[in-house]
Structure 1
């Protein structure tokens, strides 16, 4: 498995709009096992994204999907910065069910 943890900082006051794009955007990406979007309680413009895919290749391939490209195009004007915090090798676990 392949994991990626990243931090997106929205332009001032646009976190809710950016999170809506991330939460309601691409679904059913081949190889994507989970994608969690979370507000940073200490920064009103920051979001944390934790992804788990079956492989790094699946994650990379998902970036070329039309639905992902559309979400990137829609969200890009709302992003002040992006930071890849960590690549991980998930072992398993449990988590919330996406809604």
Structure 2
């Protein structure tokens, strides 16, 4: 069953766009390990927040990704840009009108 991880990442003032550039760097590894979509967004009404929507083949695929050296390196590089304010939710996708 498809797994969704949707969240917000608070950034230090003025660091939002730098985090967006970091999170949107091409990663073929994510697709290979079961990531179906990884969308990064912003809202100018909340200038110190980055929004992320992830769709995975399964929750296990998402959890396994966190152990990969490439993903750990990305997290380490992003950490100095973050304020520590996080939000979000996770769920198993029940269905979609866009696919079978």
User: Which TM-score bucket, shorter chain as reference?
Assistant: 0.7 to 0.9
Equivalent residues, number: 94
Structure 1 length-normalised TM = 0.85
Tell me which structure has the larger Cα radius of gyration: 2
Q: 1:76 aligns with which of 59, 64, 79?
A: 79
Structure 1 runs not aligned, ≥5 long: 95-99
Q: Any idea what SS the aligned residue of 2:71 has?
A: helix
C-alpha root-mean-square deviation of aligned residues, in Å? Answer: 1.6
2:93 aligned with 1:92, yes or no?
no
What TM-score do the two structures reach when normalised by structure 2? Answer: 0.84
Q: Which residue of 2 is the match for residue 18 of structure 1?
A: 19
1:93 Cα deviation from its structure 2 partner: 5.4
Residue 12 of structure 2 corresponds to residue 8 of structure 1: no
Distance 1:25 1:69 in 2: 16
**Superimposed CA distance per residue, residues 34-70 of structure 1 (whole angstroms, 9 cap, x where no aligned partner):** 0100002311111110000011000000011111111
Task: Look up the SS of the partner of 1:83 in the other structure.
Answer: strand
Change (3 A) 1:82 1:58: farther
1:20 Cα shift?
0.8
SS in 1 for 2:29: coil
Partner of 1:40, secondary structure, is: coil
Q: Is 1:48 matched with 2:60? A: no
